[in-house]
Structure 1
Amino acid sequence: MRRLIALLCLVIIGLSVWQLEADRAGLTITPLPVEGGTPATLFLRDGAGAAPVVVIAHGFAGSRQLMEPFALTLAQAGYVVASFDFEGHGRNPRPMSGDVSTIDGTTRLLMEETARVARAALAHPRADGRLAYLGHSMASDVVVRQSLDSPPGDAVIAISMFSEAVSADAPRNLLVIAGEWETMLAEEAVKALRLADPQASAGDVVGDPAQGTGRRAVIAPKVEHVGVLYSATALNAARDWLDASFGRDSAGPVAQRGGWIAALLLATVGLAWPLARWLPAGTGPALPPLSAGRVLVAALAPALSVPLALAPFEIRVLPVLVADYLVLHLGLYGLMTLALLWYWGQLHGQFPKRIWWIAAAVAIFGIAVLGGAIDRYVASFLPHAGRMVIIAGLALGAMPFLLADGILTEGGKARLWRVVLVRVAFLGSLGLAVALNFSALFFLLIILPVIVLFFLLFGTMSGWVGRRTGLPAAGGLGLGLVLAWALGVTFPMFDAAAF
């Protein structure tokens, strides 16, 4: 059975990679040198003539990889496409800085970086001098404002937009795209359209794109804030809008990558099951069973006490937003849970010598194999040197937390209610921390979906390892490194002195 499942997973992985790489066929994809060292990528269709430049900017905690569906689609349509990592994001070693509360602070610095990328792309021999900006979420405001600055934009595509810079006649040729399930931003898209025509509805075209006065709002069906980036409706609307703005009639495939990315990630996770079956089998130590009452105490005591204990303190050492708090929260949470488990005799026999190489195998698979797929097709997962210190710091909290989680959930062997209780209690603990200090910790809300996804994907793999080896601590330690790595490469770096 394990060979059959391994073969099936490998076939799905191979097919997914083949399909995803096919989106790059016929394109030349190279680094774009930018003043100041901003990491940027240039996408050109082989054999195409001179064309307008499209500068693509990602949102908060994003990276170039996340915007590739638009980059590939527009490059296949013949546009000169430049995508880049904002400061503090992805491969960009320079941290974000400036005052996040004012337009002349962080926003101005991001606009200047976008302008440098635009100038570099416009200098390419294939650029015909015309320019469009495309931005998602945080970058929607940046590209709207930058299009009104220098170099100015002839068209703007703002995805999941929130911007106070939009007026009845500016910026030129504005297309606003939002997902149906991001309700507030979908309303914002229609609101921006109705600044130009109070009677207009989503899908209508107001003004004349050929004259620079066009405006449209498109609601992509059945997608949310991230799913909108993979929506065929959004991709087609963006290409058609640029064609209308620049008088072009583009052809070429639309990079519908979401389904294949999901298949690749699920098959890679699935491959961990037969691989886990090759680990040495074990039954684990004979331990006294935990009563339901003790499980409740172990799950709820740290969930309530850790946020309350940390609420009075504000520590900023690591150059990543809320990372310092997260290290303390994870670490104290894990140590408190481990202390309870030790008191109840649950740590006896959990750490034989073989646990270390099993934990290393879990970490290598999570970081190198699954992380490699994520880095290639989803989001930046390969850190630059400056992030290694952040990853090491986060590991001090993540490893005891997931070690305790693994033992408390018995490496996936515990009943479902117990696993759900333990994980929901932790998520609730982060929510309580935000409620106690919203102004300082609201960025933690961004991490909640990441942790849910982490539990679903990596927690499943850890369960297979724990059930096979009888050593839930092995999966916990390995996943601690993976979680530290994932958070360390995801959250934007920020100059603590400027924040």
Structure 2
Amino acid sequence: MTRRPTSPHRPLWGVLVSVLLIGVSLWVLQAARSGVVVTTTYRGDTPVTTYALPGADGPVVVVAHGFAGSRQMMQGYALPLAQAGYRVHAFDFQGHGRNSVPMSGDVTAVDGTTGLLVAQTRAVIDAVADGDAPVALLGHSMATDVLVRAAQGRDDAGPLVLISAFSGAIDAQFPANLLLISGAWEGPLRRAALDAARLVDPGAAEDETVTAQATTQGAVAPPSTSPDTTAQVIRRAQVAPWTEHVAVLHSRVGRTAALDWLDAAYGRTSDVPIRPTGWALLGVLAGIVGLGVALLHCLPMRDATPRLPLSRARLALVTGVPLLVAPLVAVPLDPSVLPVLVADYLALHLAIFGAVQLALIAWWRWPVGRVDGRALLVLLAVSAVFGAGLDRYGANFWPTPGRGWIIAALALGTLPAMLADAVLTHGASVWRRIVLRGGFLVSLALAVALNPGELFFLIIIAPVILLFYAVFGTLGRAASGAAGPLAPGIALGLVLAWALGVSFPLFQA
């Protein structure tokens, strides 16, 4: 039995650096929660997490996440508001996070799925409002349109903070008190936010607060500089630098703007540090991956599976054939079996893509080695720890009971795809891994092009897949060096099925 030919100090240094990174990052994340009592209850079928200081009596803030999100994703905004004395209530939309009630209705109609989510939001507002002050509403992406519509016609709806917003319900007078926060790299959403501000003042610029006197004729009076905003429409399009659609949820500029905006609306003053929770979350997760890699480097080498001799012609074949076959076969079949948006199609696409690659591997009679049980267990254990960290600080990673069979069904597609990926990338250069994995992403794009109406949501898959390759692909590569490709292929197939099964919304037509 031989060991990996690397320095004996390499795993030790990896452990030390990873532990230090995790320790510092956890300190930041826990400091962001300091003093805040976190409790979870159910309002009907809706899970609601409350963040508040002991005895807090500040205004109520209802927080809602975006599509394929969860309550945990909104902690970057919820926690500093709670530390400032607000009583913050974050909830999971139907079909999301730990909410076991599926989404339903027509996703293309305002009175369909959107209307049902509006009704759910109003029920949460009714449950948490105390009648002392209007309820502030804060939401991201999909939730922004829902919150605007939920606030319509309600006297108890206060200021709105909309992140990465899009809504056809915003007009020149409503909402009267509105902050729009967009990531600097969200071009279309930045323009939409600025357009909303320019409904109030045509000369509005980003990062500038504009006001106008409200009227009863469905228009606004000329811009005003009066500090009294009780009878005014007041708006601001705030840009969060160096962020996109997800990173904006941890932008210190955006979170500071949200706190300042609500303080101004309620006549409060806060002095709360805005922690770099986004970087800290990445630090914890990177540290867990680093520990996993160090542990896998300690495994004795039990497999001598050679690197596959892929010529450029064979690389083109094993990439290009499944790239074309998977969408051309799967799209016409249009499966509708799983109660999760586009998950059944994705499972079929993955299965076909992986099956074609495995068939080519078998045709070329390449050795694939055997399954190393220890490497498989280590990979699954590290993945579970990674999931626990993500679930506490970043996004939901644990399924509701009804999702178990969905994960199992997805595994029928993810296992062949990841087994083929592990075999083909075993000992491969960076450029070969990019070509092979890029081929899968291109095949998904082709599927969307063939049926954009029903498969548009696959676009959301791309960042998830890239993150999956970056995190779990790194772990798989470390395991493959000692144990061969089969154990990493099985582990990554199971983890991908789990990740997709817990993140995509339940949907019942």
Fold in common (TM above 0.5): yes
> Contact 2:81/2:259 (CA < 8 Å) preserved in 1?
yes
Residue aligned with 2:309, SS = coil
How far residue 286 of structure 1 moved from its aligned partner, in angstroms, is 5.1
- CA distance in 2 between partners of 1:149 and 1:109 (Å): 17
Query: Kindly tell me: are residues 136 and 349 of structure 1, through their superposed partners in 2, closer, same or farther at Cα, counting changes over 3 Å?
Result: closer
Match of 2:113 among 100, 106, 117: 106
2:51 is the alignment partner of 1:38: no
Q: 1:257 aligns with which of 272, 277, 286?
A: 277
5 Å-filtered alignment, 1:360-399, equals 360-366=377-383, 368-399=384-415
1:173 aligned partner: 177
Deviation at residue 288 of structure 1 after TM alignment? 6.8
- C-alpha distance in structure 2 between counterparts of 1:201 and 1:365, whole Å: 47
Corresponding residue of 2:460: 446
Contact between 1:327 and 1:396, CA under 8 Å: does it hold in 2?
yes
Match of 1:409 in 2: 425
SS at match of 1:101: coil
Deviation at 1:70, TM superposition (A): 0.6
Contact 1:51 1:128 (8 Å CA) reproduced = no
Unaligned runs of 5+ in 2: 1-8, 212-227
Whichever residue aligns with residue 15 of structure 1, its letter is V
Q: Which of these residues, 17, 26, 30, is aligned with residue 8 of structure 1?
A: 17
Query: Does the CA contact (< 8 Å) of 2:303 and 2:369 recur in 1?
Result: no
Which of 141, 144, 147 is the equivalent residue of 2:151? 147
Matches for 1:68-467 after TM superposition, within 5 Å: 68-123=75-130, 128-150=132-154, 152-207=156-211, 208-211=228-231, 213-285=233-305, 289-346=309-366, 348=367, 350-351=369-370, 354-366=371-383, 368-410=384-426, 413-467=427-481
What do residues 107-162 of structure 1 show as CA deviations (whole Å, max 9, x unaligned)?
Answer: 11111111121122224xxx733211111110000111111144641111111111
Partner of 1:55: 62
Farther off after superposition, 245-254 or 474-483: 245-254
Measure the CA separation in 1 of the matches of 2:273 and 2:307.
58
Distance of 1:314 and 1:149 partners within structure 2: 41
CA distance in 2, matches of 1:432, 1:62: 25
For 2:394, the aligned partner's letter is V
Structure 1 residue 167 displacement after superposition: 1.0
Residues 64, 379 of structure 1: 8 Å contact kept: yes
Contact 1:311/1:433 (8 A) holds in 2:
yes
- Whether the 8 Å CA contact 1:56–1:81 is kept in 2: the answer is yes
Partner AA of 1:143 in structure 2: L
The answer to whether the Cα contact below 8 Å between 1:85 and 1:91 also exists between their aligned partners in 2 is yes
SS of the equivalent of 2:463 reads: helix
Q: Which position in structure 2 is the counterpart of 1:493?
A: 506
Gaps spanning 5+ residues in structure 1: where?
none
1:472 aligns with 2:485: yes
Are the counterparts in 2 of residues 331 and 401 from structure 1 also a CA contact under 8 Å? Answer: yes
Question: What is the CA distance between 1:290 and its match in structure 2?
Answer: 3.2
Distance 1:70 1:105 in 2: 29
TM-score, scaled to structure 2: 0.92
Cα pair 2:256 2:274 within 8 Å, conserved: yes
Q: Deviations over 1:416-468 (max 9, x none)?
A: 22111101111101111111111111100000011011111110110010012
Amino acid at match of 1:350: G
**TM-score, with structure 1 as normaliser:** 0.94
Q: Percent identity?
A: 46
* Kept after mapping to 2: 8 A contact 1:53/1:128: no
| Deviating 4+ runs (over 6 angstroms) | none
